[in-house]
């Protein structure tokens, strides 16, 4: 299951990287260029932080379930 998810994620990332790859005519003097770069960095960092938060919530939920089961016994 993890291998399938990793393969799917890798495929999506490869597709996205080809779509957003800089082309030779990219104009870095455009007035919104810095804003676009900042928004891209914020989006990527938001996804990473969101993943860590989600992982931590799952861990906490499992811990609470274990505590509930041990108190019920």
Residue 18: pLDDT over 80: no
pLDDT greater than 70 at residue 69: yes
What pLDDT band is residue 21 in, cutting at 50, 70 and 90?
low
pTM value surpassing 0.85? no
Q: What is the pLDDT of residues 22-57, one digit of tens each?
A: 565 666 677 777 787 788 888 888 888 888 898 899
The three-state (H, E, C) secondary structure of the chain, written as one string? CHHHHHHHHHHHHHHHHHHCCCCCCCCCCCCCHHHHHHHHHHHHHHHHHHHHHHHHHHHHHHHHHHHHHHHHC
């Amino acid at each position: 299951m993890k291998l399938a998810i990793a393969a799917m994620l890798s495929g999506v990332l490869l597709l996205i990287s080809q779509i957003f790859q800089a082309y030779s005519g990219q104009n870095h003097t455009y007035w919104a260029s810095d804003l676009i770069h900042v928004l891209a960095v914020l989006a990527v960092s938001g996804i990473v932080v969101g993943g860590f938060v989600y992982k931590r919530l799952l861990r906490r939920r499992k811990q609470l379930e274990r505590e509930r089961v041990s108190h019920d016994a």
